[in-house]
Structure 1
Amino acid sequence: MTTSVALGALKASIDRMPDPAGRTEAAALEAELATVHGVRHAIAVSSGTAALHTALIACNIGPGDEVLLPASTVIMTVSAVTAAGARPVFVDTAEDGRGMDLADVAAKTTGRTRAIVPVHLAGRTDGLLDLAAFAQSAGLQLVEDACQAQGSTTRGRAAGTVGSIGCFSLKDGKIISCGEGGYLLTDDDGLAARAAAYRTHWLTPAPGAPAASRRGMNYRLAEPLAALARHNLKDLDRALARRRDQTHRLYDLVGEIPGLTVHAPAPEDAPNGYSALWRVDLDRPRDFSTRLAEAGVANSVGTYRLRAAHQHPACQDLSPADCPRAAQAVDQMLAVTLQQQTTDTDLHHLAETIKHAAKTWTEGR
């Protein structure tokens, strides 16, 4: 969305701002999100991390509980689990590099395990339905971190609607954004009521928990931001088609070059094109991603310093188990960040930069 359009939508939202007791824009956004995603409830919150934290609280997860999540995740997912008072347990990557290793999930499930949190990095939903089947058989909640997966599907099912509750981000760069914000999706009336109560200091009731009977947080989405999100939501189909087209266009422009392999999705998955994704089979792959970042190709490892969570300095107090396949998968991940405003000229520049970097890296220059 252009700056002028954004400012126009913001001014319009301020002009029709409701009284302090109402949340007209946020309530309308929730109704529209629920309709678009085909679920009973959407709950708007202030960020994707707030959505994850709220979802865990709504699932009654807290101190003494364990939550399984992929070691190949961002630190924000880990922070949401610890904020709920639970212990994150990191799961290794599957042998084929797609999603969480189900054998490791089963091995690390204990009597204290309450939930599994798959994380759809780069819009990928690898192995989600098998993981959902395991969670159901084990009596565990499945809380989807779909913050990068607006519009992704697996066997026709939308990311964020497969588990008990799905969590999304509206931060800039997402398929649909409003600067900062998030939302949750669920068909469970109880989860929705607890999430709505928690995000506003429990000023609204939930089943078995009257208003003001529990502590909550101020995770409300500001009305002007909700108005921007509504404005952008109208263009979801177009925005999704554009991001997918950008990703495939970049793949075509880069072509087949030694040392880079397109990380193709499984046949049943239709990712949203959040990032173009390759596996780096060059020496020192993390250094290669850093070189690309320095050359202007924003990517998860080189720009944002993504590393397997069990190796992250902020997670060492959790005494994490080693997850070697996850560490390798993250180190070899080249997830190139794209934006709605990325032009065809930009894509040509990105492709030429990637090809030149790979060629000179291979030649040792």
Structure 2
Amino acid sequence: MITPPPRVDAGIFQRVLDRMPDPAGRSEAAALESELATTFGAAHAVTVSSGTAALHTALVACGIGAGDEVLLPAATVMMTVAAVQESGAHPIFVDAAPGGGMDLHDLQSKITERTRAILAVHLGGRCDGVRELAALATHRRLMLIEDACQAQGSRHHGQLAGTMGDVGCFSLKDGKIYAAGEGGYLLTDDPVIAARAAAYRTHWSIPADGQAAGSRLGRNYRLPELSAALARHHLTGFETALARRRAQAALLVDLVGDLPGLQTIGSGAGEEPNGYSALWRLTLADPRAFAVHLVQAGVPNSVGSFGLCAASAHPACQALNPAPCPAAEHMIDHLLAVVLSAADTEQDLRIRAKTIQREATAWTQQTA
């Protein structure tokens, strides 16, 4: 049975409003950082205003900037690419391995003297190959940054997503398993990265890395106190929310069943995904058109709703002169990632499953 999410007591907001302006500063955000570090087993947590801000801040905190190259999967979202470009570095797209992670052979062939970091993206809550990436990064003396915005609670060989590299980046946007409407945070065990991130997200108004306050330019990437209060409230129910999302994804896959044209994407070796989305590989004719068609029939999904495509083929990335990444392009073009939310009930999922069954069957008949 899918349990509904708990309601939020509006009193948590009133308590924050009652003490604003607070001369002591960011008490909710500071408390949240301590609680995040404890909950997810990291030495340091730094809150920021969004998942994209977390990625940009992590890159800057790792010393990555103009003239540097960052290797990242072609199978990613545009926010990841934008963060790399915003740092001044050049994104280099890596093709996909059969399991969905980065192709290590293609990655190694693209390492140059300008390469400074690998940015792993755990799309759909999957962490395929990240342990191998961590070993490679260590061997080649590269930073490993994890985009775990869709992977809160996912594990790879027992280790939490976002804690396997030098720094992990997360989003608190609505729709995420752990959310606060908007916001983000970084997890790291490196005190230097943490200090730089904290300084950068608040216009370098505090010292870091031996550099005085105000000696560098930074950004206003602060997490608002109201968002921090909501994030603190939801953090106490994270394990329940994680179990709910996993149950939702598993139920939808089970309800759709063995359907021609849809192949369930199972977990890889050592993977414990968070159930961020219910995932299938489409073998239907014109799969991207089918994904769009499903949206019109009431089934939101990443390709049909948001136009997800491999970065190497995305119009916004063509000015970067990307090398073709055919495996990643094929993988995304044939992906059905059904969007789930905490509000989806068992009845909602039953209706969605029937819609997928009906529309896939009709699509097969029409294109036969």
Q: 2:292 aligns with which of 290, 293, 296?
A: 290
Asked whether the equivalents of residues 281 and 335 of structure 2 are also in contact (C-alpha less than 8 Å), the reply is yes
After TM superposition, give the deviation of residue 5 of structure 1 in Å: 1.9
Task: Indicate the residue corresponding to 2:155 in structure 1.
Answer: 153
Task: Indicate the residue corresponding to 1:202 in structure 2.
Answer: 204
**In angstroms, what is the RMSD of aligned CA positions?**
1.3
Q: 2:104 aligns with which of 102, 105, 117?
A: 102
Matched, 1:10 2:13: yes
* 1:128 counterpart letter in structure 2: V
Task: Indicate the residue corresponding to 1:314 in structure 2.
Answer: 316
* Segment drifting more, 61-70 vs 5-14: 5-14
After TM superposition, give the deviation of residue 265 of structure 1 in Å: 1.1
1: CA distance, partners of 2:68 / 2:281: 35
Asked whether the equivalents of residues 116 and 143 of structure 1 are also in contact (C-alpha less than 8 Å), the reply is yes
Task: Indicate the residue corresponding to 1:360 in structure 2.
Answer: 362
Q: Deviations over 1:329-349 (max 9, x none)?
A: 000111101011100010001
After TM superposition, give the deviation of residue 89 of structure 1 in Å: 0.2
Q: 1:77 aligns with which of 80, 83, 96?
A: 80
After TM superposition, give the deviation of residue 296 of structure 1 in Å: 1.1
After TM superposition, give the deviation of residue 14 of structure 1 in Å: 1.8
Task: Indicate the residue corresponding to 2:276 in structure 1.
Answer: 274
Q: In structure 2, do the counterparts of structure 1 residues 219 and 20 end up closer, same or farther at CA, with 3 Å as the change threshold?
A: farther
After TM superposition, give the deviation of residue 21 of structure 1 in Å: 4.3
Asked whether the equivalents of residues 6 and 228 of structure 1 are also in contact (C-alpha less than 8 Å), the reply is no
Matched, 1:65 2:53: no
After TM superposition, give the deviation of residue 16 of structure 1 in Å: 4.1
Alignment of structure 1 residues 222-233 onto 2, 5 Å: 222-233=224-235
Alignment of structure 1 residues 31-180 onto 2, 5 Å: 31-94=34-97, 96-180=98-182
Q: Deviations over 1:270-297 (max 9, x none)?
A: 0100100110011101001001111111
Asked whether the equivalents of residues 17 and 223 of structure 1 are also in contact (C-alpha less than 8 Å), the reply is no
Q: Deviations over 1:180-231 (max 9, x none)?
A: 0000000000000000000000011112222111100000000000000000
Taking structure 2 as the reference length, what is the TM-score of the superposition? 0.97
1: CA distance, partners of 2:85 / 2:124: 23
Asked whether the equivalents of residues 99 and 268 of structure 2 are also in contact (C-alpha less than 8 Å), the reply is no
Task: Indicate the residue corresponding to 2:262 in structure 1.
Answer: 260
* 1:28 counterpart letter in structure 2: A
Specify the SS of the correspondent of 1:321. Answer: coil
1: CA distance, partners of 2:144 / 2:7: 40
Q: 2:29 aligns with which of 19, 26, 31?
A: 26
Task: Indicate the residue corresponding to 1:339 in structure 2.
Answer: 341
Asked whether the equivalents of residues 70 and 90 of structure 1 are also in contact (C-alpha less than 8 Å), the reply is yes
Q: In structure 2, do the counterparts of structure 1 residues 6 and 111 end up closer, same or farther at CA, with 3 Å as the change threshold?
A: farther
2: CA distance, partners of 1:124 / 1:44: 23
Q: In structure 2, do the counterparts of structure 1 residues 348 and 217 end up closer, same or farther at CA, with 3 Å as the change threshold?
A: same
After TM superposition, give the deviation of residue 20 of structure 1 in Å: 4.0
Q: In structure 2, do the counterparts of structure 1 residues 2 and 126 end up closer, same or farther at CA, with 3 Å as the change threshold?
A: closer
Asked whether the equivalents of residues 97 and 329 of structure 1 are also in contact (C-alpha less than 8 Å), the reply is no
* 2:126 counterpart letter in structure 1: R
Question: Where does the alignment leave 5 or more consecutive residues of structure 2 unmatched?
Answer: none
Asked whether the equivalents of residues 56 and 81 of structure 1 are also in contact (C-alpha less than 8 Å), the reply is yes
Specify the SS of the correspondent of 2:67. Answer: coil
After TM superposition, give the deviation of residue 19 of structure 1 in Å: 1.5
2: CA distance, partners of 1:215 / 1:224: 26
After TM superposition, give the deviation of residue 17 of structure 1 in Å: 4.1
Q: Deviations over 1:253-284 (max 9, x none)?
A: 00000010111011301010010011001110
1: CA distance, partners of 2:312 / 2:300: 24
* 1:58 counterpart letter in structure 2: A
* 1:250 counterpart letter in structure 2: L
Q: Deviations over 1:134-155 (max 9, x none)?
A: 1110000000000001000001
Q: Deviations over 1:40-83 (max 9, x none)?
A: 10000000000000000000100000000000000000000000
2: CA distance, partners of 1:20 / 1:254: 55
Specify the SS of the correspondent of 2:243. Answer: helix
Question: Where does the alignment leave 5 or more consecutive residues of structure 1 unmatched?
Answer: none
Asked whether the equivalents of residues 124 and 277 of structure 2 are also in contact (C-alpha less than 8 Å), the reply is yes
Q: In structure 2, do the counterparts of structure 1 residues 14 and 4 end up closer, same or farther at CA, with 3 Å as the change threshold?
A: farther
2: CA distance, partners of 1:343 / 1:176: 18
* 1:160 counterpart letter in structure 2: G
Specify the SS of the correspondent of 1:279. Answer: strand
Equivalent pairs counted in the alignment come to 364
Q: 1:221 aligns with which of 217, 220, 223?
A: 223
